[in-house]
Amino acid sequence: MPNLIRASSTPKVQYTVSLPHSLLATASLVCAATRYEGLGDWLWEARTQIAPDLYQDLCLVITLPGGYQRFTAELIADLPAEAARLSFDELMAHLRTIPAVHYQLIALRALARGAHPPPQPSDLTALLHKPAEWAAYLAEVESEVDPEMAAALVGDEEKLKRQLLNALERFWREVYAGEFEATRPLMERSVAYHRAQRYPPSFRDVFVAVTGRPLPDRVVELLPGIETVTFIPSCYIGPYVAYTHNVERLVLYYNCRTTPIGADAGEGPSLYPPLKALADETRLQILALLHGRELYAQEIVEQLDISQPAVSRHLNLMAAAGVLKIRREGNAKYYSIDTEALAAVADALRVFS
C-alpha cells in the first residue's frame, strides 16, 4: 500500500481594514522610512511633524531587534483573531491586559529572529548579563540600539510594556488618528474591490492579482498549516509586500493605492510600482548600467558615486517593483533588467496615448 499524504487545503482568503494592524504596521514604517526607497510620502511628512521624544521612544522599541517589523510582527501575530474589529481604545485595553513578561518574550523572540540559527529566548536572557557577548549579538542581528539601552529595556519588562503602550498611544493621538480616518475610504474601496472579484482558487493567483507581485518562496513555505490569509490594505508600503504570521493565520499587507478606480483602470495595479521605481535619477542610472548585461551589486556600487547601503536600497526597490531580476550565485546577487516587465509597462502606457 502506498504512503498516504494529507493534501494541504487552500487557506481561506479575506480582505479587511483593520485599525490595530494598520497602526502597528504604520508605526513600523515611520521608523523604517530611511531604510527603504519608494515608501509613501506621508511617512516622511510624519517624521518631520512627530515630537522628537516620541519618535525616539517609538523607534527604540520597534527597531530594538534590528530589521523591519520584527517586534511588531511578533506583536501582531499575538493579536486575537477578532482584532480587526477593535477600536483604538479597545486595542489599548487589550494590550494592557497582556502581562509585562509577555512583552519581554515578544522582544526576545524578535531578537532571536535575526540570527541564524535563532537562539532560544532563555539563551538571550543569559546574554543580557554579559555585555561583550550581548553587544556582539546585537551587531549580528543589525540592531541600531545601544547595547546598554537595549539590555536595560529588555531586562525590565515593566518598563518595556510601559514605553511601548505610551508610544503607541501618543503616535495614534498626535500623528496617525487623523491620517487613518482620511485614508480609510481608500482602504475600504480597495477591500470592497477585491471582495467583489472572482479570483482563481489558487492562492498563488490570488496573491499576484492583489499585490501585482509573484508569490515569494518564503511565503510559500509558511502556507502548510495556514487556515486563514488576511490581506490588509496599506497606503504607504509602495511596491513592497509585508507579512506576519502565527501557526494558523497569515497577515499580508499590500499597496491599496494600486487598486483600479473603475472599469477602464484595469492596468492600474501593474503601472504604479514600476513607474515609482523608475522615477529617480539614480535608479535610471542603474537601469542604464544594466542595459544589455548583468552585474553584481558591488560592480554597480563602483560605478556610482553613492554608498553601498544607498545602492542596495535602490536595487531592492527596483527588484520589488519587478523592474529588475535577481540571480543568486553563492553569496553574490546578480542584477539584470526584466525586459518583459518593462515591455508590459510600455504597452500599458500606450493605452493612454
Q: Taking residues 92-100, what's their average pLDDT?
A: 95
Q: List phi, psi (to 5°) of 200.
A: -60, 160
Confidence of residue 63 (pLDDT cuts 50, 70, 90): confident
| Strand ranges for the chain from DSSP E | 12-15, 228-234, 242-245, 249-255, 295-296, 324-329, 332-337
Compute the CA torsion angle 202, 328, 283, 32 (nearest 10 deg).
70
Whether the predicted pLDDT of 5 surpasses 70: no
pLDDT-based confidence at residue 265 (cuts at 50, 70, 90): very low
What would the pLDDT profile of 130-162 be if each residue is shown by its tens digit?
999 999 999 888 888 889 999 999 999 999 999
CA distances from 105 to 122, 124, 157, 161, 236 (A): 9, 10, 9, 11, 29
**Range list for CATH 1.10.10.10 in the chain:** 268-350
* DSSP classification of residue 172: I
Confidence (pLDDT) at 304: 84
The mean pLDDT of 282-297, rounded to a whole number, is: 88
Summarised one tens digit per residue, pLDDT across range 215-261 is 888 899 989 989 999 999 999 998 889 998 888 899 999 999 888 76
Q: Which CATH number fits domain 268-350: 1.20.1280.50, 1.10.10.10, 2.40.50.140, 1.10.260.40?
A: 1.10.10.10
Strand partners, 296: 334
- The pTM of the full predicted model, rounded to 2 decimals, is 0.78
Q: What is the mean pLDDT of residues 70-96?
A: 90
- Residues 33, 49: Cα–Cα separation, whole Å: 14
Give the pLDDT mean for 12-19.
96
pLDDT of residue 34: 82
User: What average pLDDT score do residues 264-276 get?
Assistant: 62
Task: Tell me the pLDDT tens digit for each residue of 105-137.
Answer: 999 988 888 788 889 888 898 888 899 999 999
**168 vs 278, more confident:** 168
Cell of 12: 481561506
Does the pLDDT value for residue 267 go beyond 50?
A: no
Residues contacting 91, CB < 8 A, separation 6+: 19, 20, 23, 83
Instruction: Give me the mean pLDDT over the 161-177 stretch.
Output: 96
Query: Residue 262: pLDDT above 60?
Result: no
Q: Is the pLDDT of residue 289 over 90?
A: no
